[in-house]
Every structure is written in structure tokens, then in C-alpha cells.
Structure 1
Amino acid sequence: MRADRLVAALLLLQARGRTTAAELAEQLEVSVATARRDLEALSAAGIPVYPQPGRGGGWSLLGGARTDLSGLTATEAQALFLLAGPAAATAPQVKSALRKLVRALPGTFRAEAAADAVVVDPARWGEPDRARPEMVDALQAAVVRRRKVRLTYADRAGQQTERMVDPLGLVDKDDVWYLLAGTAHGQRTFRVDRIRDAVVTDLAAQRPPDFRLPAAWQLVVEEMERRRSLLSATVLVDARFVPVLQSQFGRHCEVLDSVREGRRRVRLAAPTARTIAEQVAGWGARIEVLEPAAVRAELARIGTELTARYG
């Protein structure tokens, strides 16, 4: 039998005290025969599970034992979901196992189960690779425990402010981590590498009942994409360099078509003409900017400055 079904079956027995093969089959989305074999396998493995025939019968734990999560503490139960949560975003079998586990959890644990505490978004924004911030684990635990966090946060200019937030979820966007949180001014997104300090309090955090982390993150991405692609430029580059450009600009690099001699027309997007010029200036003559004139003018300005200093 599959390990996820074995654990789910055991947890369901512990939560209910007794279940029938038909009820287990419905919960685990398998046939009644498969559910019955799973129960028999549990018994054969030494788990004190036994069948009780007759009306009102079913499968029970020895002595009607009813415990929470095989004796796991709340912290240990949370750890299971913390460990599996990131994997569940990319592994359907893990997501399926967690869904079955949640169904079997007693009610007091369901609210704390955080299989969706983390979203993994592999699409790049042109950011360099970064190490996982040490603060992620503490913030993730705060999401699961529903506890307010006192943040010391630095903006782009390095100016620090302190604020109390309700942590809603974490997003790993290709090694750049973000915290989605409720604040006094509505939902906000914080880059974890700009959080200078985070103190998890004992105050209960508020979480909107209809909050769904993937949907909330999609709204953040759409707004960020709008801001990051206010201006676009069309450039010519050798086909062999296109993957490097795609790594540099992420989803803001679009291959349009091929031209002669193995060159490609590529569209690059950024907030301003200066931003694009600064990012492609290091390519020298390997990139030819076709349009707009504003980007070409910025490149000329950069070239003039460099010539004046180093020429």
C-alpha cells in the first residue's frame, strides 16, 4: 500500500475511533476493496487495528483508542506540514497526501495545517541567485501558528521602519523570498532579505477566511509585471546569447523572430529607458537596440560618460 494512504488511514481511525472500509474508501478516493486491504495491512504491520462485524461495526483501534496524530504534539504536527508544504507546490503526489492527511486531522488541528503556507514560483524576475534567508523558518512557523510578527523592515533606500503584521504566507520566487502579510493599511508584500528583524509574538494573527495564497500571489505578480514593463525595447542579438538575456531579464524577455545570420529580434521590458540601457550597456556591440530612440539616447549618454572617464 502507499505510505500516504497508510498514514491517512491511521489518522482517520484515531480521529474517529472507528470507521468502515466504505467510509475510508470515500475519504481516500480508492475502492472499497483497496481500503479493506489497507486496513488489513495496518493490522498485519502490528498496528492495533481490528474489525468488528455486525450492525454498527467497522474497523477500530484497540480499546477504542483516540489520540491526535499518533501522539504527535501540535508543534510536531505543524512541522509535518512545514516540511511538505514547499514540495506540495511542485509534486502532485505530495499535495494529494497532504490533502488526505488534512481530511483525517481532528478539528483542532485543521486550522493549523499549513500545506499552503508556501508558494514556489519558478519564474525569474532577473534576480541573481540568493541563499535561503535564515528568517524564513521563523516566519513560516508564524504563518502556521497564526501569530502576529513585529518586523523591522528596510526599504530600497535602506531606511528602516517597525510594524506589526499578520503573516499570511511565504513565496519562494526562484530563491527570492517574499512574505505576504496583513497590515493596518491592507495586505502588503515584504522581501524577506530586507527584513532586518522579526519577533514572533503571542498575539493571535488575523487571516481573512477567503484568503488563498496562490491567488493572492498572482495578484501581486500581475501588479509587479505592470510596473516592471512600462517600457519595452526591441534589440538584435545573436541566437546563442538569447538564453543569457532570458536569465538576465526573466519573463521580461520575449523572443520575437529570427533574422539573417543567426540573429534574433528580442523584446526587453523594464520600468524606464534608463533601466534598459543600464542593463544592456555591458553587452557592448553584441546587442543592437532598434527602438525606442529613448533607449538609444541613454546608451549614447552612458558611452559618452565612459569615454570621458576612461577614453
Structure 2
Amino acid sequence: MRSDRLVAILLMLQRRERVTAAEVAAELEISERTARRDLDALGMAGLPVYSVQGRGGGWRLLGGARIDLSGLTAQEAQALFVVAGPAAAATPEVRAALRKLVRALPESFRDHAEAAASSLVVDSWRRGSERVDTRPPRFVEVLQNAVIQRVQVALGYIDAAGRETERLVHPLGIVSTGASWYLIAGTDAGQRTFRIDRVSAVTVTDDAAIRPADFDLADSWRRIAEDAAHRAVVEVCGTCAPEGIDFLRTALGDNLSLGEIGADGRVDVTIHGPSEYGLAGHLAGLVEWLDISSPPGVREHLARIGAALVQRYGA
């Protein structure tokens, strides 16, 4: 979505005296190298964007120029609101700029622009570090477009037992946790959450989707995440070295609770999951920082996993 980023960078340049590659990278969650390439591309495209070298440098708009973003096409406006909408990980300044922009858009496609802004939630708590592969799975784009256009879709879906089913759903929003992507949708049985990597086929219909008037994607996802945590039946207790906390957050999200910090600097942790074996397998790669004290079953599974790894990969 490079075009989306370029328009978002233009908004940043218009609301600030200057921007640095580091600021662009942090706000748009890209690398500094990509940010520099995008900033250079704006100037090469003929826009009045120039760089200033040395201390206090960065990129600026020549002479405080203003770019007429109200001249965006419907597709460009929709793309911009997807990348920096209120439901995404945008700063308050970007959201304020978007509120001003939407008032300048032609009335004929304001609704789609605003729908795009509320079509995606990025769960930054679960997302964690850049080590997580954030590439979206197949069908994310077509499903998000169905959310924005507010039309029903027929899904081919593979459930947890491996059975493939067909379902007609009313798309309400997309959630990205970095490692996983989800579709929240209305069905005949009520609101449901679908893992997009289990979607095997999508057919977009011409029938209007039913969207509850009070639906809020961020609030809905928060409730779903809380319910999932409460359904977990195994509780693991232990301590973690400070430098491993971010890795645990990335791997466990809301299934991790932090406690007190001990005299040795280690942090008390409580972890919830559906089974002892499943948790042991999930935590095996974190033993460099993690010390599990209970339950005994998880410790035994970890020991067996460690022995198997040594047997297969040891010298």
C-alpha cells in the first residue's frame, strides 16, 4: 500500500514544520529506510518536498506549501482512511487531520471514506515487536473492501477440526494482531470471529450487509479478547527476566499478566492457556528468560520437549 503511505506522509508534512525519517517510520510502522525512500519519492514525483541536511534537518514542504488533498479520488481517499483511520494505530494529530479532510471531500464518497476509517483495528498490545510477520494473509483486502462497501460475503471456511464449511456473513471489521488477522462478522447465529488464514474462498455478493447502529470495532474486539482469556483453563506461574517481557507480550498477548518485580529484577508472571501441553510448546522457545514454577505438568512437558530437541539436534 505504498500510495496510502505517501498520502499519509503528505498529511504529516502539512501539519508539522518538518518531519524526520524516524518520525515517519514510527508513525506508519515501517523501517526508516522505507520512510526515506517514500519521502524521496514525493520530491521525485514533482511535489514541493525537499530535505534539509545536518542538525535540525528532515523533510519539509517548500515555502510552507499546501497540497490540495481534497482533490483525492474516491479510491485514494478510501485508501488514506484505511491506513490512518481512527480505528487504526494513528496518532491524535493524524486523526484530527483526517477529520478536517473528510469535511473537504466530495459528499458522494464521504461515507466510504469514513467507513474505511473504522474498518480496521490494529491490536498493538498483541502485535509486539517487529519480529512478528505482519504480512496479511490471502483475502484480507477483499474482506476489508466488503466491510467498507457494507455488502455480504459467502465464505469458504475451515474450522478448528479441519472441516470446510460455507457461510454467508455480514462483514463488520478486520483486526490485525500482527501474527494473526481476524474478520468480525454478523451471522444468523449472532456475531462471530473468523481467522482469515482459515478462509478458503470469498464470494462478494450485491446484498447489503446488516451493521448494528451501535457497533464499534475496537470495543467489540476488546470484549472478544477478554472472553478468550477468561475461557482459558490452565494457569501457569513463574518469573521472567526483564529483557524477556516484550517477547512474552508478543507471544501471549492478553493471556499474560505481570506481577511484582523481585529483588533480583525478575518479574512475576501468570500465563493462561487451553492445555498444559499446548502452553509448554508455546513457551519452549522462551526458556532463556522464563522460569516456570507451576503447574508440575507444564514443567514435565517442557523437560520432555527439551530432551527431544537435544536428541534430535544436539551434537
Shorter-chain-normalised TM-score: which range?
Answer: 0.5 to 0.7
SS where residue 193 of structure 1 aligns? Answer: helix
- Picking from 79, 82, 98, the partner of 1:82 is 79
- Deviation digits for residues 134-167 of structure 1, max 9, x if unmatched? 4222112211212111111112233211111111
1:209 maps onto 2:238 in alignment: no
For residue 66 of structure 1, what is the aligned residue in structure 2?
none
**Which deviations, in whole Å up to 9, do the C-alpha atoms of 1:240-275 show, x marking residues without a partner?**
444433333234334433446554433222222222
User: CA separation in 2, counterparts of 1:154 and 1:87?
Assistant: 31
8 A contact 1:235–1:291 mirrored in 2: yes
**Structure 2 letter corresponding to 1:94:** V
**Aligned residue number for residue 265 of structure 1:** 268
2:296 maps to which of 280, 283, 293: 293
Verify: 1:162 aligned to 2:159, yes or no: no
Unmatched 5+ residue regions in structure 1?
Answer: 5-44, 48-68
* Residue equivalent to 1:99: 99
State whether residues 127 and 179 of structure 2, in contact with CA within 8 Å, keep that contact through their aligned partners in structure 1: no
CA RMSD of aligned residues (A): 3.7
Instruction: For residue 222 of structure 1, report the CA deviation from its aligned partner.
Output: 1.6
Q: Distance in 2 between matches of 1:209 and 1:180?
A: 15
Q: Which residue of 1 aligns with 2:30?
A: none
TM-score, structure 2 length as denominator?
A: 0.63
Partner of residue 122 from structure 2, selected from 116, 120, 123: 120
Find the residue that maps to 1:178 and give its secondary structure: strand
CA distance in 2, matches of 1:211, 1:266: 34
| 1:258 to 1:86, Cα distance in 2 relative to 1, 3 A | same
Give yes or no for contact 1:150–1:163 (8 Å, CA) kept in 2: yes
> In percent, how many aligned pairs have the same letter?
40
The residue that corresponds to 2:46 in the other structure is: none
Q: Give the aligned residue type for 1:214.
A: A
AA matched with 1:120: V
Corresponding position of 1:143: 147
Residue pair 2:225, 2:254 contacting (<8 A) in 1 also = no
Do 1:86 and 1:119's aligned partners in 2 also have CA atoms closer than 8 Å? no
Q: 2:311 & 2:137 partners in 1: Cα distance?
A: 41
Structure 1 pair 222–207 and aligned structure 2 pair: CA distance change class (3 A): same
Any conservation in 2 of the 1:82–1:140 contact (CA below 8 Å)?
A: no
The CA distance in 1 between the partners of 2:278 and 2:178, in whole Å, is: 22
- Residue 307 (structure 1) shift: 9.0
Q: Which amino acid aligns with 1:177?
A: W
Number of equivalences: 244
| Of 285-294 and 115-124, the range deviating more from structure 2 | 285-294
Greater Rg over alpha carbons, structure: 1
Which residues of 2 match residues 11-160 of structure 1 at below 5 A? 76-88=73-85, 89=88, 90-103=90-103, 109-112=109-112, 113-114=114-115, 115-124=117-126, 128-160=132-164
Distance 1:175 1:308 in 2: 30
Counterpart Cα distance in 1 of 2:288 and 2:179: 32
Q: Residue 125 of structure 1: CA displacement?
A: 7.0
CA deviation string 1:260-309 (max 9, x = no partner): 65544332222222222223345568643212234334445656877999
Alpha-carbon contact 1:165-1:183 (below 8 Å) kept: yes
Partner deviation per Cα, 1:28-68 (whole Å, 9 max, x = no partner): xxxxxxxxxxxxxxxxx9x9xxxxxxxxxxxxxxxxxxxxx
Q: Which amino acid in structure 2 is aligned with residue 99 of structure 1?
A: R
